Amino acid sequence: MTSSSKPNRPDAGWHFDNSYARLPAAFHVRMNPVPVRTPKRVIFNEALAQSLGLNPEALKGEEGAAIFAGNKVPEGAEPLAQAYAGHQFGHFTMLGDGRAILLGEQVTPQGARFDIQFKGSGRTPFSRNGDGRAALGPMLREYIISEALHALGIPTTRSLAVVTTGEPVFRETPLEGAILTRTAASHIRVGTFEYAAARGNPDDLRALADYTLRRHFPDLAATENPYLALLEAVMERQASLVARWLLVGFIHGVMNTDNVALGGETIDYGPCAFMDAYDPDTVFSSIDHHGRYAYGRQPQIAQWNLARLAETLLSLIHEDHQAAVSMATGAITGFPDTFRQYWLAGMRAKLGLSNQEADDGALVEDLLSCMHRHGADFTNTFRDLASGSQPEASVFQAPDFQQWFARWQARLKRQPDAWETARQCMNTHNPAVIPRNHRVEEALAAAVERADLSVMENLLDVLARPYDDPPEESGYHLPAPPSAEPYRTFCGT
C-alpha cells in the first residue's frame, strides 16, 4: 500500500483493510467524520501506536491532530457508522453509532487486525437527538481506565489519542469538545446480532455470524455446528472477562447488550469505576437506580445478555425451532458454572493457592463476607495478605478475620509450594494500584480545568505497572479519604 505522505515526511504506517465495510449494506452507513474547527492533540499513546505499526513521529503536530480529529482521512480508510441495536436496561432499542465513526481496520506488521474508531466525531444517521460529540473529561477518563484495565491484563479496547476540537459541547454547561481514538479487536456487539435478527433478513444474519467466526473464532468454522460453537465460545470469553472484572473490583456500569463485544473485550467506558470498600451492591452510575449493573450482579447480567445473543442465533443453530431452543438453552445454563471456574481460579491465585481443595470456594466467600462486614478495602486487603504477617489495617485485628487468617495459613501449608512462591503469585495477581476514583478525578480536573496534563501522565505511569508498589508517600494505593462524598458516574457524556 502506498502512503500519501510527502517525501520529507516519514510514512505514518497506516495499512487499512476494511472487512466490516464489506458486510451487507444494512450493517453500516458510509460517511466521513464531521470536520472540526481547530484540532489539537492532548494525549497520544506512543507505545500503542508502535504496536499497531504506526510511526509516532509522523503523527505529531498538525498532521496528527488533523487525523485524530477526523479532518484528514488517511489513505485506505473507509469510514463508516455502524448499525446496531441493543437492550438498554432491559429495553430493546435500535441504536447505531450516534457519535462514533469506524475509520477502518489497521493491519499490523504481525498481521493482527484492529478497529480504529473515533468517539465524538459528529452526527450520524444514528444520532437521534444527540449532538454526536463528546467532552474532554469523559474521553480522558476512558483513556485512563481502559489503559489501566489493559495493564491489569484484562482484555479491553484501548486508547490511542485524544484531541480537542476547538468547539464547545453543550451539556449542563458548555464544555471543551474532544474526540477519542480507540482501538478494538472489533466492534461486533451482541446488539449487532440483535439488529440483524430484528430486521429479519436471514442472509444478513448469516453473513454477520460467518464474519464473526472468521474474525474471532476461525477454528470453529469447520465444526459440526459452528453457530452453536460461536455462542459457546462467546460465552466462554464473557465468563472469563467478567470474572477478571470481579477479581479487581471493576464495575462496568452499563452492561447493555450494545456494550458487549463478541471478541471478549471490555468496551464502552461510560459510568464504570473501581470499588474501594468491598460491597457486592456497589453502584456508581447515577442512572442505575435499581442496581441492575451492581458489582455483584455482573455475572448474572452477562448471562442475561448472552441469552439475548442466543435468541438471535436460533434459526442458524437448528432449522427446528424447538431443537434450537433446547441446544441454546443447554449452552446458556452452563454459564454460571463456567463463570465460577474462572472466578475461583482467579481467587485461588489471589490467595496464593496453587492446588485445589473442595472448600476453597467457602474460604474465599468467608473472606469476602468478613471484608463486607468490616468495610475493608477490596484491593488493599488482598495486597496486604501477601505481606506475610498480619498487617496493621483494622480489619486484620477483628476476631472473625483472625479466625479466617488462621484457616488460610493452614490451607497454605496443605500445598507443595513454599510461602515465597505463594507470595510471588499473590503479588502478581493482587494489584497494588488501581485507578482510584479520587485520583482519576484529580487528574481530569487538572487536565480539563487547568490544561495541566502532568497529573494524568503521572497517574498513567503508575497504572501501567499496577503490580509494583508505588512509593508510599505518593498515596496512589490509598482509597478516598472517609470524608469524601459518595462517588457518582454519568453516561451519555
Binding mask 244-263 toward ligand AMP (x if CB under 6 A, else -) reads ----------x---xx----
- Produce one character per residue of 226-256: b if its CB has 16 or more CB atoms within 10 Å, e if not: bbbbbbbbbbbbbbbbbbbbbbbbbbbbbbb
- Catalytic hit among 97, 204, 258, 268: 258
Residue 115 interacting with Mg ion (CB under 5 A): no
Can you name the residues that pair with 295 across neighbouring β-strands? none
Our CB check for ligand AMP shows the closer of 32 and 51 to be 32
Binding flag, residue 31, ligand AMP (CB under 6 A):
no
Residue 159: which of 84, 51, 238, 244 has the closest Cα?
51
Q: How far is the CB of 52 from Mg ion (least distance, A)?
A: 23
Binding site partner of 491, from Mg ion, ligand AMP, none, Cβ cut-off 5-8 A by kind: ligand AMP
Torsion sign, CA atoms 79, 84, 86, 92: positive
Site for ligand AMP in 83-102 (CB under 6 A): 95-100
167 binds ligand AMP, rule: CB under 6 A: no
Q: How far is CA 394 from the centre of its chain?
A: 33
Please tell me whether residue 164 binds Mg ion under the rule CB under 5 A.
no
Closer of 82 and 259 to Mg ion (Cβ): 259
Return all residues near 49 (Cβ < 8 A) that are at least 6 apart: 55, 56, 59, 160
CB of 162 to Mg ion, least distance (A): 18
Total of chain residues touching ligand AMP, rule CB under 6 A = 19
**Whole-angstrom distance, CA of residue 437 vs CA of residue 443:** 10
Grid coordinates given for 88: 438498554
Which secondary structure element, helix H or strand E, spans residue 179, and what is its range? Answer: strand 174-184
Rounded to the nearest 10 degrees, how much is the dihedral formed by the CA atoms of 402, 404, 406, 411? Answer: -160
* Strand bridging mode 80-82 / 85-88: unpaired
127, interface contact from Mg ion, ligand AMP, none, CB < 5-8 Å by kind = ligand AMP
Return the closest-CA partner of residue 383 out of 374, 370, 396.
396
The 289-328 site mask, x for binding Mg ion (CB under 5 A), equals ----------------------------------------
To ligand AMP, the closest distance from the beta carbon of 488 in angstroms equals 16
> How would you write 360-387 as a 3-class SS string?
HHHHHHHHHHHHHHHCCEHHHHHHHHCC
- String marking each residue 41-80 x if it binds ligand AMP according to CB under 6 A: ----------------------------------------
Contact pattern from residue 342 through residue 381 relative to Mg ion, giving x for each residue in contact according to CB under 5 A and a dash for the rest: ----------------------------------------
Nearest to 291 by CA among 282, 300, 299: 282
Min dist CB 481 to ligand AMP, Å, is: 31
What is the footprint of ligand AMP within residues 120-139 (CB under 6 A)? 126-127, 130-133
Q: Does residue 259 touch Mg ion according to CB under 5 A?
A: yes
258 included as an active-site residue: yes
What is the H or E stretch that residue 88 is in? strand 85-88
Q: Which residues are identified as catalytic?
A: 258
In the complex, the residues that contact ligand AMP under the rule CB under 6 A are: 95-100, 126-127, 130-133, 254, 258-259, 268, 270, 491-492
